[in-house]
Structure 1
Amino acid sequence: MCIDVPVAMWDFDHCDPRRCSGKRLARLGLIQELRVGQRFRGIVVSPKGTQIVSPSDRELVLRNGVAVVECSWARLDDVPFGKIASPHERLLPYLVAANPVNYGKPWRLNCVEAIAATFFITGFKEYAQYLLSKFGWGASFWEINEPFFDQYSRCHASEEVEAMQNQIIRNLEQSYEDSRKAGVSDYGADLLVANPNH
């Protein structure tokens, strides 16, 4: 299969190369590495974004693709975001990681999960699944987040996705509170980590 839109990353070498999803995609020839200062005209998934990616970004992805910043969540302050600025920086909505490093943690997606999430939300499911298929745990990312992707895909603009995200979080909080009162152990406790982007 060929992904017919650009897929790129700025890699800051924060991660173990053996576990880095971005480096694995690069070895497979599925992602282009960008230099610091090099511009990218498509969607850039970044914690410095102010809008959430939405189905309305589809045409932008179709024309110019998706890029991510490959770095450690623990070292965001070391990343020169000003030198990789894009007019189309985006946040991702509430999603749960399936990668081995941050499994079960909200918003702690790795490189391939972030790209795949952008593709899922903007209507390129086949591209997302192709990239995830290169990782043994990749199918789990879809399985965990399928209900969320279904809800986000019914939205249009960023504001609608954000409103849907907030409703999802309220529902999770209520479900967790109900199960806690009932004395039932619930995986939902791990799903209520504060969003680092808001």
Structure 2
Amino acid sequence: MQLHVRYEGDDDPEKCTARRLAHLGHATLHRSARETPPGVVLDPFADRALSPADAGDDRLVALDCSWETATDEAFGLEGPHRSLPFLVAANPVNYGTPFRLNTAEAFAGALTILGHRDQAEGILETFSWGDTFLELNAEPLARYADCADSGEVVAVQDDYLADDEDDTGVDE
């Protein structure tokens, strides 16, 4: 699966996973929305969750920007927009934080859900925390990959969100 990144360049270049993926030949960086090819856009603001039903496209597109500057408008890219379901970050900046994935984690999660586990492992092998991401999220990723569509993915996600609320002592 081709990986493309609309690269904003507004974060620390030393910690930028998109730049490392591009340097290693795993992804292609694009400086404008116009030059970014269409594909399944990983968009945290999307109304539909990514599911195996999206596997027909051969391109994944991510926006690499700081979480502080991520807005709905920034994701003006062509293609179906899909949000990633509940996954926990393993990177040192956001370790243990749900939904706060960096670009490499987002691609790896999406690839696994879409049935490209070997490619997900390949892009994460260069990061010291890469295996940890797959270990922390092994069960949800396997369950999401077994779903037929976005609705089933959301139902599985709801199980994890309900469990998370139970762990915090908040009633459902």
Q: Same fold, TM exceeding 0.5?
A: yes
Report if the CA contact (8 A) 1:12-1:79 is conserved: no
Question: % of aligned pairs identical?
Answer: 35
Q: CA deviation at 1:39?
A: 4.2
Q: Distance in 1 between matches of 2:74 and 2:147?
A: 32
One of 152, 155, 162 as aligned partner of 1:163: 155
One of 109, 112, 117 as aligned partner of 1:125: 117
Matched, 1:30 2:26: yes
Q: Distance in 2 between matches of 1:81 and 1:117?
A: 19
Q: Secondary structure at the match of 1:52?
A: coil
One of 36, 39, 43 as aligned partner of 1:42: 39
**Structure 1 unaligned blocks of 5 or more:** 179-198
One of 80, 94, 97 as aligned partner of 1:102: 94
Cα 1:81–1:176 shift into 2, 3 Å: closer
Number of aligned pairs?
A: 169
Q: Distance in 2 between matches of 1:144 and 1:138?
A: 10
For 2:6, the equivalent position in structure 1 comes to: 10
Matched, 1:53 2:47: no
> Which one has the largest radius of gyration?
1
Q: Distance in 1 between matches of 2:71 and 2:45?
A: 11
**What CA deviation, in whole Å up to 9, does each residue of 1:7-29 have, x standing for no partner?**
11011011110110001111112
- Tell me the amino acid that sits aligned with residue 87 of structure 2: L
- Tell me the amino acid that sits aligned with residue 11 of structure 1: Y
Q: Secondary structure at the match of 2:70?
A: helix
Q: Distance in 2 between matches of 1:48 and 1:34?
A: 21
**What CA deviation, in whole Å up to 9, does each residue of 1:58-100 have, x standing for no partner?**
122xxx2211100011111496333xx2231110000000011
1:166-177 matches, cutoff 5 A: 166-177=158-169
Report if the CA contact (8 A) 2:4-2:36 is conserved: no
For 1:182, the equivalent position in structure 2 comes to: none
**What CA deviation, in whole Å up to 9, does each residue of 1:112-170 have, x standing for no partner?**
00000000101110000000101111000001000111221221100110111011111
Between Structure 1 and Structure 2, the one with more helix by share is 1
Q: Secondary structure at the match of 2:44?
A: coil
One of 16, 32, 47 as aligned partner of 1:20: 16
TM-score by length of 1: 0.80
Q: Secondary structure at the match of 2:94?
A: coil
Cα RMSD, aligned residues only? 1.7
**More moved, 70-79 vs 42-51:** 70-79
TM-score by length of 2: 0.91
- Tell me the amino acid that sits aligned with residue 68 of structure 1: A
One of 68, 79, 84 as aligned partner of 2:62: 68
Report if the CA contact (8 A) 2:45-2:72 is conserved: no
